[in-house]
């Protein structure tokens, strides 16, 4: 049964959760003009790695990434799956700690950080224990409940824009390519797309529909950066930790019964992030269960990993340490988001040649 809709919706929701918070600040900090240039470069990279992954997976129609690597030998499994597992764990640590900080800053200033992190992990842990189908069904429900609200906010956020701030359009300085802020922005680009290689045996989907989901994300990438720039100007927007959140906070709609849209926006995005965390937890457990601890119950592994993530998050004292983790994770991030799709594509080409011979 084709369940492409499940995959498409999960692909969009998890990416939106990653894009609308940290991504705008990373792009604005890395480039003072013509922000569309670094955005488009990131989008092109996104399509390249997604295309390579899908091309490789097409050669193994009934296998997931783990099975493909196990079939290629222990060395391939160690070279690519172990770094992927490490990356997933670090991604969840960064996400839980960073988004808990965001919630605290925006509207729960009196709530202790440990309680917010515990809540995020408990809910994500519960979904991961229920399995990937439960995560995807939850995604379908949340899409119809919350995505219209997010879409509405994206539209009304244009009310304060000044189109003069769009100039200059061209950026002649490409030094942003090596800027640490720009490199951190790839967390939103390559943070979650690998799940399409883990769900294939369980949830079938069509390749073209996944590519269409990636196309649908292009306006989100652009809007998330340009609405803050067009509202406040580059100089002012670059001073904000979360430029898009500040833009939403500046929206004033007299006919709306709610005073602040920021709270509803933030809650929606955090709920999308819960899906992301639970999905990454599930993928981490799949790797451990198939490669390291095949006899251990997945539910116990989910709980154990969640506890480890929580303890590590408690050791991170402030936001500067979160940013330092982003920097330390950069090399591993690029290794995984490029290495896995390229290796899967090469293994797929090799499998095709062996099948033809």
Residues 277-313 have pLDDT tens digits of 999 999 999 999 998 888 889 999 999 999 999 999 9
Q: What pLDDT sits at residue 327?
A: 82
Mean pLDDT value across residues 65-73: 91
Distance, CA of 175 to chain centre: 25
> What is the mean pLDDT of the segment spanning 137-156?
90
356 pLDDT exceeds 60?
Answer: no
DSSP label at 357? -
Contact by Cβ (8 Å): 266, 106: yes
The yes-or-no verdict on residue 116 having pLDDT over 70 is yes
CATH number at residue 263: 1.20.1740.10
How much is the pLDDT for 263?
79
Tokens standing for residue 264: 């509803």
DSSP assignment of 148-205, as one string? HHHHHHHHHGGGG--GGGG--------GGGG-HHHHHTHHHHHSSGGGGGTSTTTSB-
Q: Which pLDDT band holds residue 155 (cuts at 50, 70, 90)?
A: confident
Distances from the Cα of 140 to the Cαs of 27, 191, 279, in angstroms?
30, 20, 14
pLDDT tens digit sequence for 208-250: 999 999 999 999 999 999 999 999 988 888 888 888 888 888 7
Q: Can you give the pLDDT at residue 89? A: 93
Q: What is the pLDDT of residue 357?
A: 53
Mean pLDDT (the chain) is 88
- Residue 128 token pair: 């991961």
Nearest alpha-carbon partner for 97 in 341, 338, 326: 326
252 phi, psi to nearest 5 deg: -130, 110
Note the pLDDT tens digit of each residue in 311-331. Answer: 999 998 888 888 888 888 888
Count other C-beta atoms under 10 Å from residue 117's C-beta.
22
- Which residues does 151 contact at the CB level (< 8 Å), separation at least 6? none
Total number of domains constituting the chain: 1
Contact call for residues 328 and 87 (beta carbons, < 8 A): no
Classify 2 as helix, strand or coil.
strand
Judged by phi (left if over 0) then psi (alpha if -120 to 50, else beta), residue 233 lies in left
Question: Does the structure show a pLDDT above 90 at 2?
Answer: no
* Per-residue confidence (pLDDT) for residue 311, from 0 to 100: 94
Region of 182 please: left (phi>0), alpha (psi -120 to 50) or beta: alpha
- pLDDT on residue 130: 93
CB contact at 8 A, 247 and 231: yes
Look up the domain containing 148 and give its range: 4-356
> Could you read off the pLDDT of 165-190 as tens digits, one per residue?
888 777 777 888 888 889 989 999 88
């Amino acid at each position: 049964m084709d369940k492409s809709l499940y995959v498409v919706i999960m692909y969009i929701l998890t990416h939106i959760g990653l894009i609308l918070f940290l991504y705008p600040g990373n792009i604005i900090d890395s480039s003072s003009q013509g922000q569309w240039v670094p955005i488009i470069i990131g989008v092109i990279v996104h399509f390249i790695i997604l295309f390579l992954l899908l091309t490789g997976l097409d050669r193994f129609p009934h296998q997931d990434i783990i099975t493909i690597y196990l079939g290629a030998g222990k060395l391939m499994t160690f070279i690519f799956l172990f770094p992927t597992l490490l990356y997933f764990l670090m991604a969840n640590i960064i996400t839980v700690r960073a988004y808990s900080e965001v919630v605290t800053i925006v509207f729960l200033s009196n709530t202790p950080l440990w309680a917010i992190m515990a809540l995020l992990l408990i809910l994500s842990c519960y979904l991961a224990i229920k399995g990937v189908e439960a995560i995807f069904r939850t995604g379908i429900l949340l899409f119809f409940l919350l995505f219209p609200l997010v879409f509405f906010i994206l539209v009304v956020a244009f009310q304060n824009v000044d189109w003069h701030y769009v100039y200059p359009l061209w950026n002649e300085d490409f030094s942003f390519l090596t800027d640490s802020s720009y490199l951190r922005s790839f967390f939103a680009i390559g943070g979650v797309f690998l799940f399409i290689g883990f769900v294939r045996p369980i949830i079938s989907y069509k390749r073209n529909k996944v590519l269409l989901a990636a196309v649908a994300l292009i306006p989100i990438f652009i809007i998330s950066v340009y609405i803050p720039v067009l509202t406040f100007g580059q100089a002012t927007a670059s001073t904000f930790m979360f430029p898009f959140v500040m833009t939403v906070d500046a929206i004033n709609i007299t006919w709306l019964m709610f005073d602040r849209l920021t709270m509803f926006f933030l809650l929606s995005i955090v709920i999308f992030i819960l899906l992301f965390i639970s999905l990454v937890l599930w993928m981490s457990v799949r790797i451990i269960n198939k490669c390291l601890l095949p006899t251990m119950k997945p539910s116990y592994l989910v709980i154990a990993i969640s506890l480890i993530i929580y303890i590590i998050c408690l050791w991170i004292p402030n936001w500067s340490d979160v940013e330092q983790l982003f920097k330390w994770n950069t090399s591993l991030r690029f290794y995984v988001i490029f290495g896995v799709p390229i290796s899967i594509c090469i293994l797929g080409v090799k499998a095709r040649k062996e099948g033809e011979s």
